[in-house]
Amino acid sequence: MSGFGPERQRSPTEEPKEPIQQMHPKPDILDDRSHTLPPLARLRDLGAFSSRNTTKGALLNEAFLLFRTMREHGSTVADLRENALRGQAFPRASFENRQRIWDCIHHRYFAPGIPWVFNSLATATVSGVGSSDFVSLAYLYFSLRDRLTFAFVTGVLWERWQARSLAVSVADVLKFLDGESKNHPVVKKWSPSTRTKIAQSTLAALRDFGVLHGIQSKQIQRPAVSSEAVFHLLCILLAEGRHGRAVIEAPDWRLFLWSDDDAAKALAELAQRRWIRFERGGRTVILELVRNPEVST
């Protein structure tokens, strides 16, 4: 599957284009497939910041093994849990580590209970563990299921990307946590060592997902994004009640370091694939699902 690679980013000094307005009388148009979307509205992590990502990072290889097993053997989620905890999937890991790995992967991809999500990830394993098909979809749900990561990428990294200040370090994450401690008092309860572990693990995960590069000194880069990941994010935004202009302007696209125009280009490519109907002209936006997202209510 083709994806979206790095493109030229509009300079902050360039004149912004005329803002998009919703079409009257309807801001967007959804066909009868829209009734399949509501389960996706319950997917996003809206709770307090969590320290769950202190050591395990992206777990891309481990997740890939499980999803490939699901695709090749028709394994259920219960089967995968059994394989993980009994050591069949991760034979070299201790039971404690196997439990931790499973808990992390389960929270990110299985806990919402939406088969379309994990079936899509299983299908993406055909392309390989390092493919944009698998990595970008895994990254999307990793970020949506961890509020801390989402806030850091769409806030700090996005601002750095726009300013062309691309270096990022553990100190930047620690500063971010300090700034967020008023909104998330739990951060104040974390020890300095816990905060540092979270910062290190978050940066390592973002490197594995292709948002950063470098080992000791990390730099921000725009990740490759599959069309499937774009479609999943679109369906989630629609399920959450966003319409027309609000879809394009959603901060979620910043996970990919995309501007509003970048998001519109990605949606236009989905339209070329006949997955959606998307028209943007002047102050008019028309957005309609064509492909069935296969999300059961």
Q: What pLDDT, on the 0 to 100 scale, is given for residue 36? A: 54
Q: What pLDDT, on the 0 to 100 scale, is given for residue 5? A: 57
Structural domain boundaries in the chain = 45-131, 166-220
Predicted model pTM: 0.87
Q: What pLDDT, on the 0 to 100 scale, is given for residue 3? A: 57
Summarize the confidence of residues 60-74 as an average pLDDT: 97
Which band of pLDDT confidence, cut at 50, 70 and 90, is reported for residue 296? Answer: low
Asked, as a colleague might, if the bond just before 192 is cis with ω within 30 of 0, I would say: no
Residues 6+ apart with CB under 8 A from 242: 250
* CA-based nearest residue to 225, from 133, 289, 159: 133
Which band of pLDDT confidence, cut at 50, 70 and 90, is reported for residue 297? Answer: very low
pLDDT above 90 (res 11): no
Summarize the confidence of residues 69-83 as an average pLDDT: 97
Q: What pLDDT, on the 0 to 100 scale, is given for residue 18? A: 38
Q: What pLDDT, on the 0 to 100 scale, is given for residue 55? A: 74
C-alpha span between 135 and 208 (Å, rounded)? 9
pLDDT above 90 (res 94): yes
Which pLDDT tens digit goes with each residue over 173-199?
Answer: 999 999 999 999 999 999 999 999 999
| Ramachandran quadrant class, 128 (left: phi over 0; alpha: psi -120 to 50; beta: rest) | left
As a whole-number percent, the residues of the chain with pLDDT over 90 amount to: 79
Residues 6+ apart with CB under 8 A from 120: 137, 228, 232
pLDDT above 70 (res 27): no
C-alpha span between 108 and 22 (Å, rounded)? 33
Q: What pLDDT, on the 0 to 100 scale, is given for residue 15? A: 42
Q: What pLDDT, on the 0 to 100 scale, is given for residue 6? A: 47
| Ramachandran quadrant class, 100 (left: phi over 0; alpha: psi -120 to 50; beta: rest) | alpha
Summarize the confidence of residues 264-284 as an average pLDDT: 92
